[in-house]
Amino acid sequence: MYDTVLIRSARFRREREAQWLHLEELVSKAEKSGLHRMSFEQARDLAALYRQAATSLAIAREISLDRALLQYLEALTARAYLSVYAPQERIGGVVKRFFTYSAPLALREAWVFVLIGFLCMGLGAMAGYLLYFENAAWYHVFMPPELAGGRGPGSSTGELLDVIYMQDPGGSGLGAFATFLFSHNTRIAIFVFGLGVFLCAPAILLTFYNGLVLGAFYALHVDRGIGWDLAGWLSIHGVTELSAICIACGGGVKLGAAVLFPGPLRRTEALRQAGKGAAKLALVAAFMLIVAALLEGFGRQLVQDLNTRLIIGWGVGVVWLIWIMRAGRGRT
Amino acid sequence: MTPRTIDNVDALLTPEGVPVHFRVAGVGVRMGAQIVDILVTGIAAAALVIFIATAGLAGPETLMAVASVTFFAIRIPYYIASELAWNGQTLGKRFLKIKVLSNDGGPLSTHALVLRNLMKEAEVFLPGTLVLTLDGERVVPSLLALAWITGTLAVPLLNKRRRRLGDFMAGTYVIHLPEPVLLKDLTEHSAEMAQGNKEFVFLSHHLDHYGAFELQTLEAVLRSSGGADARAPTGQKAANLALITDKIRTKIQYAQAIPPSQELRFLHAFYNAQRGHLEQKQLFGERRADKFHADNASKE
């Protein structure tokens, strides 16, 4: 008797109300403690009730004019949707997959852009080297004074050697590590990646300029006949560090290329897709910079011998190369 | 149905094919969440730096660099890990009940969360650091920084979903978490009352005047004035009810006079009858949006 008095939409609500309240309970539980802590029955009910609530919402929009009910169902469905479609990944798993699979794969996929990065740096270094021998005054043009640390064509060979083989390795390793991370090259790496999106040009120019600095600096030491000593000094962390800059440049160029040549996609969509690979390149570069900082902070003070420095620097470089070329190949 | 509010509402199509509407979180609330997060990570970093300093691991000359690195090393994993673990919410976002959402209706991907939080470095922390460290004497870097800061602040204001650059790249946006509140069905109320006596009878021609908009406005009025059997309201409320009753009676040409004590009961009964009528019409394919439905129908 009572039911016949109610209008259709009120009966619709009466039949389903208990389920909605149950779903609400499950949703707040899932939000509080996470899906993986719920029992099998609860997780199953959550998914099933969510779909029922979504159906109820679709029906209610057609048959009901009760605004309060529509708003409730909308909010409930939205809340349940958010818990049902939550990312189900463990942080440890994400990290492991990144290093064993997705990062090397992204590097191999973007090999053209990474190669452009290395070419920019290499050409810059060559230009800087040759220009120095043409006229030593170029050194002052390229080299920012704060980076040179007082070293220049005016310094004596002895002074240059003193920096390379520190007589007094003052300061703690941690301090040097931290100082390194905020040094010139980290900033360069961040900028070449971030500015690449502006049509590649800033990334390429900055990397080229960084190469110029390197080339001029190296030429100064070769001029004095201590090229090998500098090579050792630079290699121990520089192989890793400069590669990181080149990879960051590759990421930046990849973003810029997506803006320049979006192909059949819209530019934002092309940028979004390029971002997937580019972000991984940036993360790899960041990781390499941290390793370089460790090598710089601890390795360079502890190891004063030229050959050991060369071996460590290039050995680490080879390890990077093997990791990039081989890791994650077996998986499909 | 989109609620008629001034809020910025955005529809998202779930994989089930049912569109769901979310309120887009504005710039203000997101800044609030950001400040909470900066406080949380800042306090953690400060504690760690103080520990390093007292343990003598770093000298005073490098302490500043160590502090920067510590803050950096804490905040980068913090944002990514918290948004991964809590489904698009950091502590600040949980506190202010906002959440990151994927554009395409699918789940948030790890890649999207990493990307939007790395871009945060360029969009939030770089301008922040610039403001703290810039030298007023050097004009060109200051102007560049000003341009960058204005640019990053302007981007969210210039699009409807209030997305920042990182959101664009990751394909995400930020919403207010909807709060489900189940209110009582008004018709049940009226039905209970109508059990005893059918004091108000509405005929089909009474109910052909109004549409969904008027019905839902009446719903809001009735909900705010409590149950139908509640004691008679006084003052302004009573005057409003009298006015509404009078308007409705004139409009639908309801002959019977309503004494003031019966006004609330009359409105409830009318709501019930009107909703039943409109829902019936809707079921047969005739949606009446508002009281102009007759004009609109004749125009077509």
Q: What is the mean pLDDT of residues B268-288?
A: 87
A70 touches chain B (CB under 8 A): yes
Beta strand pairing status for B98-102 and B19-23? unpaired
Per-residue pLDDT tens for A184-237?
777 788 888 878 877 888 889 989 998 998 888 888 888 888 888 888 888 888
Residue labelled with tokens 């619709």: A12
pLDDT of residue A275: 82
Contacts of A78 in chain B (CB under 8 A): 20-22, 178
Question: Which pLDDT does position A48 carry in this prediction?
Answer: 94
Interface of A with B in 155-174 (CB under 8 A): 171-172, 174
Which residue in A5, A82, A175 is closest to B191 by CB distance? A5
Task: State yes or no: pLDDT of A8 exceeds 90.
Answer: no
A65/B215 CB distance under 8 A: yes
Pairing label, strands B19-23, B9-13: antiparallel
B202 CB neighbour count, 10 Å cutoff: 16
What are the pLDDT digits (tens) for B94-136? 999 999 998 888 888 888 888 888 888 878 887 777 777 777 7
In this prediction, residue B30 carries a pLDDT of 92
Q: Is the pTM of this model over 0.90?
A: no
Residue A87 in contact with partner chain B when CB distance is under 8 A: yes
Residue numbers in B near A268 (CB within 8 A): 168
Residue A23 is predicted with a pLDDT of 94
Q: Answer whether A66 sits within 8 Å of B275, measured CB to CB.
A: yes
Size of interface A-B (CB pairs under 8 A): 187
Residues of A in contact with B61 (CB under 8 A): 171, 175
Closest-CA residue of A relative to B107 is A85
pLDDT in tens, A89-147: 778 888 898 899 889 999 999 999 999 999 999 999 999 999 998 888 888 888 877 66
What pLDDT, on a 0 to 100 scale, did the predictor assign at position A42? 92
Give the whole-number percent of chain B exceeding pLDDT 70. 90
Instruction: Please give the structure tokens belonging to residue A174.
Output: 């941690």
Contact between A181 and B69 using a beta-carbon 8 Å cutoff: yes
Nearest chain B residue to A195 by CA distance is: B122
Average pLDDT over residues B237-249: 87
Minimal Cβ distance to B114: which of A9, A181, A279? A279
Question: Is residue B148 predicted with pLDDT exceeding 60?
Answer: yes
Query: What is d(CA A85, CA A54) in angstroms, rounded to the nearest whole number?
Result: 14
Token duo for residue A263 = 């192909």
Residue B228 has pLDDT above 60, yes or no: no
Kindly tell me if the per-residue pLDDT of B277 is higher than 80: yes
Size of chain A, expressed as the number of residues it contains = 332
Mean pLDDT for chain A overall: 85
Is any Cβ of chain A less than 8 angstroms from the Cβ of B14?
Answer: yes
Instruction: Tell me if chain B has a CB within 8 Å of the CB of A207.
Output: no
Q: How far is CA A238 from CA A310, A323, B225, in A?
A: 10, 18, 75
Residues of chain A in contact with residue B72, where contact means CB-CB under 8 angstroms, are 181
pLDDT at residue A168 tops 80:
no
Question: Per the CB < 8 Å rule, is A66 touching B187?
Answer: yes
Residue A90 contacts residue A33 (beta carbons within 8 Å): no
Q: Do residue B57 and residue A174 have CB atoms under 8 angstroms apart? A: yes
Instruction: Confirm or reject contact between B109 and chain A (CB < 8 A).
Output: yes
**pLDDT band at A176; cut points 50, 70, 90:** low
The reported pLDDT for the residue numbered B32 is 94
Q: Do the Cβ atoms of A200 and A260 come closer than 8 Å?
A: yes
**Structure tokens belonging to residue A234:** 């630079």
Q: What is the pLDDT of residue B260?
A: 81
**pLDDT of the residue at A1:** 38
Longest dimension (CA), chain B: 92
**Phi and psi, residue B20, nearest 5°:** -125, 140
**Beta carbons of B179 and A75 less than 8 Å apart:** yes
pLDDT band per the 50, 70, 90 thresholds, residue A5: low
What pLDDT was estimated at residue B100? 93
Q: Is B60 on the interface with A (CB under 8 A)?
A: no
Q: Is the pLDDT of residue A3 over 60?
A: no
Average pLDDT over residues B66-93: 88
DSSP codes joined into one string, chain B:
----SSS-EEEEE-TTS-EEEEEBP-HHHHHHHHHHHHHHHHHHHHHHHHHHHHTTSS-TTTHHHHHHHHHHHHHHHHHHHHHHHTTS--HHHHHHTEEEEETTSSPPPHHHHHHHHHHHIIIIIHHHHHHHH--TT-HHHHHHHHHHHHHHHHHHHTSTT---HHHHHHTEEEEEPP----PPPHHHHHHHHHTT-------GGGTTS--HHHHHHHHHHHHHT--TTSPPP-HHHHHHHHHHHHHHHHHHT--S---GGGHHHHHHHHHHHHHHHHHHHHHTT----STTHHHHHHH-
Q: What is the nearest CA distance from B56 to chain A, expressed in angstroms?
A: 10
Which of A24-33, A61-70, B187-196, B235-244 is predicted least confidently?
A: B187-196
- Non-local CB neighbours of A216 within 8 Å, separated by 6+ positions: A128, A129, A131, A132, A138, A139, A142, A143
CB-based contact A86 B107, cutoff 8 Å: yes
* Whether pLDDT at A286 is above 60: yes
ipTM of the complex: 0.84
> Can you tell me the distance from the alpha carbon of B18 to that of B178, in angstroms, rounded to the nearest whole number?
16
* Chain A residues close to B98, C-beta within 8 Å: none
Looking at the complex, does the CB of residue A95 fall below 8 Å from at least one CB of chain B?
A: no
What is the predicted pLDDT for the residue at A251? 92
Lowest mean pLDDT among A12-16, A165-169, B83-87: A165-169
- pLDDT for residue B235 is more than 80: no
Whole-angstrom distance, CA of residue B201 vs CA of residue A178:
82
Q: How far is A316 from chain B (nearest CA, A)?
A: 23
* DSSP code at position A65: -
φ/ψ bin of B285: left (φ > 0), alpha (ψ from -120 to 50), beta (otherwise): left
| Chain A contact probe: residue of B4, B7, B12, B62 with most A CBs at under 10 A | B62
Average pLDDT (B155-163) is 87
